[in-house]
Amino acid sequence: MSHRALAGACTAAFLVLTTASATAPTPSSAESPSGTGCFVAGDGFLRARLRGAVNLDIDWKNADMECAGGPRPPRKDARHGIRVSIGGPLRGDGRRIRVVFGIEKLREGEAGEGLGTNVTLLFEGEQRVFATRGDDKCTVDSVTQQRVESLGATRAVYKVVARGFCLGPATSLTQGERVFLTSFDFAGRIEFGDDDRRANLEN
């Protein structure tokens, strides 16, 4: 590959990673407090099995994790839902694997079974992104939301516990590689506020 082509590919990968990161929850009041993992109680976790272009068995504990989440922005083809973002331990040079689960249909505090789920895998610091690009490749078998904390008068923190699997791949946005998330279960953190509740009512 020529230097010019290589530079173009790297630029494209960076732009894709930036765009995909923008769709995931950004650090805010919704992010887990520094130094406490997902929850002060210490019961956050993520276990997942990746096969394909990346072969990895994830077993992250609460203290290893960086958590954020909230309602998933409504779309024409999938209204409502929640989005859970879990970042793993830093691996040096700013590298971190982050997994984002977008679970369809759920509103604040609801439980569910057999729900379509979009999964995005971000290899932060490596310019690699894999995405299922839809809710039809992965399924959450069961999910519950438990209110664990209040932030002021209007915001609530929930612990989301879910397990599921994927029958279709997450595909690289730049290289055509594929990763299968054959199984996953997690306990992550999301927040809801009054603005989120109003948006859900409107949609």
Sketch the domain layout of the chain as residue ranges: 3-202
- Report the pLDDT value the prediction gives residue 76, as an integer from 0 to 100: 62
CB atoms within 10 A of CB 63: 12
Residue 183 pLDDT level (bands cut at 50, 70, 90) = very high
pLDDT at residue 164 tops 70 = yes
Residue 28 pLDDT level (bands cut at 50, 70, 90) = very low
Per DSSP, 4 falls in state H
- Report the pLDDT value the prediction gives residue 133, as an integer from 0 to 100: 93
Per DSSP, 75 falls in state B
What is the C-alpha separation between 22 and 16, in angstroms, rounded? Answer: 10
**What does pLDDT average to over the chain?**
83
What is the C-alpha separation between 189 and 184, in angstroms, rounded? Answer: 16
Give tens-digit pLDDT for 68-97.
Answer: 999 998 766 556 899 999 999 998 888 999
pLDDT at residue 33 tops 50 = no
- Report the pLDDT value the prediction gives residue 173, as an integer from 0 to 100: 84
DSSP H or E run through 99:
strand 96-103
Mean pLDDT of 165-180: 94
Are 183 and 189 in contact, with CB atoms under 8 Å apart? no
Token duo for residue 64 = 């290893």
- Report the pLDDT value the prediction gives residue 78, as an integer from 0 to 100: 56
What is the C-alpha separation between 101 and 145, in angstroms, rounded? Answer: 14
- Report the pLDDT value the prediction gives residue 194, as an integer from 0 to 100: 83
What is the C-alpha separation between 172 and 188, in angstroms, rounded? Answer: 25
Token duo for residue 19 = 């765009």
pLDDT at residue 19 tops 80 = no
Residue 79, phi then psi, degrees to nearest 5: -75, 155
